[in-house]
Amino acid sequence: MTLRRSTWWFGLVVVVSALLTLLYLSSNVSTSLTQEDVAAFRSMGLKPLAQSLTHEEQVKLVRRVQRMVFERSPLDKGIAEGQAREPADLLRLGHGLCFDRSRALDKALSYLGFQTRHVFLLYRQGKSFSRALFSRRQWSHAVTEVRLGSGWVLVDSLTPWVAVTKEGLLVDADHVWSRSSEFESIPEYLVRPWWAIRGLYSRGGGFYHAFLELPEVNYADFFSWVLDLP
């Protein structure tokens, strides 16, 4: 009887492990640079940093990369679901939406040597987190955070705006909307309250690799965010 019970539990562990592995392989969004990414950024004239930069130089470089991505992919109809949306795909199409352009910004800044992470902004609209997360028509936005010498800063994917205050301080995605008065100017859509979910690319799937109807997540960034929650 003990042997049967042990065999049953072992089989259950194997099945659950296999399902979790399949889920990971089907829904994890890799942030690793590919050869096609590198070729795309070289075609834009970008080169990895050869030397350390000052704070001001880092901010200036981030703004320049943001402008370059926007110039090569003006805001317009995005890449359709079920199709690859890596930087080279965006450059070939020549236009995109926030989630297309933020992916290019994530990888372009990573190529230059910065630490980056994708951020899914889930607007609150007076709802609880769980209700907002599962509401089909809930407002959302995709942005990038890049780590500079003095901290993380939000880099927008719709307008050429970076979260640097009038005093030159960097503001991460958690605090932009609550510190809006500290900026010289700020897009109206970045003043509304939200939750900033790191590592979440899509709630409904259809954007990356297997194109399944599952949430698409970079699990390393996502669980790092979850474990850091107050």
- Within 8 A by CB and 6+ apart from 211, the residues are 81, 82, 205
Domain that holds residue 179: 31-227
Task: Give the Cα separation of 171 and 182 in Å (integer).
Answer: 10
**Domain presence at residue 2:** no
Q: Which of the pair, 215 or 9, is modelled with greater confidence? A: 215
Residue 91: alpha-carbon gap to chain centroid: 18
Distance, first Cα to last Cα, the chain: 46
Please provide residue 14's backbone torsions phi and psi, each rounded to the nearest 5 degrees. -65, -45
Which tens digits make up the pLDDT trace of 98-145? 999 999 999 999 999 999 999 999 999 999 999 999 888 899 999 999
**Domain presence at residue 10:** no
Which tens digits make up the pLDDT trace of 45-56? 999 986 789 999
| CATH code of the domain covering residue 125 | 3.10.620
Please provide residue 120's backbone torsions phi and psi, each rounded to the nearest 5 degrees. -100, 115
- Rounded to 10°, the helix 98-111/35-43 angle is 90
Split into its structural domains, the chain has a count of: 1
